[in-house]
Structure 1
Amino acid sequence: MDPVSVVIGENMNRKSRLPNSDDEGQGALDVGSVLSGGSGRSKVTIKEDRGITCKDIRAIMPTVLILLLTIFIMVTVIPYAFSSVIKQLQAVSELEAQQEAVSAGQDAEPNQTQSSQ
């Protein structure tokens, strides 16, 4: 039997899967605890800083490619898809401007005729 499983079996209450009361000083996460979700090796912290390696770059490349593809789609496809809507909005604003000009012209004509009398 694995020494870690023996320690876990001795320290864990099977009904609640929580540490027994005699483990209060050790904290809630054991090295191989079922609750922690990780192995003992994954909890070891690296104290020295390491540089960026080729493995790190290869690990993030799929994410970078997806990001670039998404930006390309946003810049090209979405404006093309909404171009007809944008044209309609521009036409509506032009019609409103023409109507305002016509209404301003009609308001100006009666004022001129009244002042000339």
Structure 2
Amino acid sequence: MDSASTVGDSMNRKSSRVPMSDEEGQRALDVGSVLSAGSAKSKVTVKEDRGVTCSDIRAILPTAFILLFTLFIMVTVIPYAFSSVIKQLQAVRELEAAKEAELAAQLELQNQT
């Protein structure tokens, strides 16, 4: 039990460490961050205002290709897949219009007699 409490105490000491300066505190946050997988050097801070580089564009290209491919699929394949459904809906509308025209013709005949 002594080793378990020693490990717990050492973990508490590490997390309760107070940084001596802002820079040291920033490094401590970067290293100890659970959400961050990168190093402190790879992070862009507000102080560093850099432009877009070729490596930035190369990093975005796979996502851009996936987006373009998805848009191509949406514009071409999906309407083709639903073309039979669209044709059926148009046929139903035509049948309804023909039925209404027939009813109108019957009413007109009844009004004449």
If the length of structure 2 is used for normalisation, what is the TM-score? 0.69
Q: From the superposition, tell whether residues 46 and 70 of structure 1 become closer, same or farther in structure 2 (CA, over 3 Å).
A: same
Moved over 3 A (4+): 34-44
Q: Which has the larger radius of gyration?
A: 1
* Structural RMSD (CA): 3.2
**One-letter amino acid of the structure 2 residue matched with residue 55 of structure 1:** S
Q: Which residue of 1 aligns with 2:48?
A: 48
Whether the 8 Å contact between 2:30 and 2:36 is mirrored in structure 1 is no
1:60 offset after TM fit, Å? 0.3
Number of equivalent positions: 99
Distance 1:106 1:83 in 2: 35
Gaps of 5+ in 2: 1-8, 19-24
Whether the 8 Å contact between 2:30 and 2:40 is mirrored in structure 1 is yes
Structure showing the higher helix proportion among its residues: 2
Identity of aligned residues (%): 60
After TM superposition, the structure 1 stretch with the greater mean CA deviation from structure 2, 30-39 or 97-106, is: 30-39
Q: From the superposition, tell whether residues 74 and 43 of structure 1 become closer, same or farther in structure 2 (CA, over 3 Å).
A: closer
Q: Which residue of 1 aligns with 2:106?
A: 106
Q: Which has the higher contact order (CA 8 A, sep 6+)?
A: 1
Q: Classify the secondary structure of the residue corresponding to 1:72.
A: helix
**One-letter amino acid of the structure 2 residue matched with residue 57 of structure 1:** I
Q: Which residue of 1 aligns with 2:31?
A: 32
If the length of structure 1 is used for normalisation, what is the TM-score? 0.67
Distance 2:82 2:57 in 1: 36
1:42 offset after TM fit, Å? 5.4
Q: Classify the secondary structure of the residue corresponding to 1:13.
A: helix
Q: Which residue of 2 aligns with 1:69?
A: 69
1:49 offset after TM fit, Å? 1.2
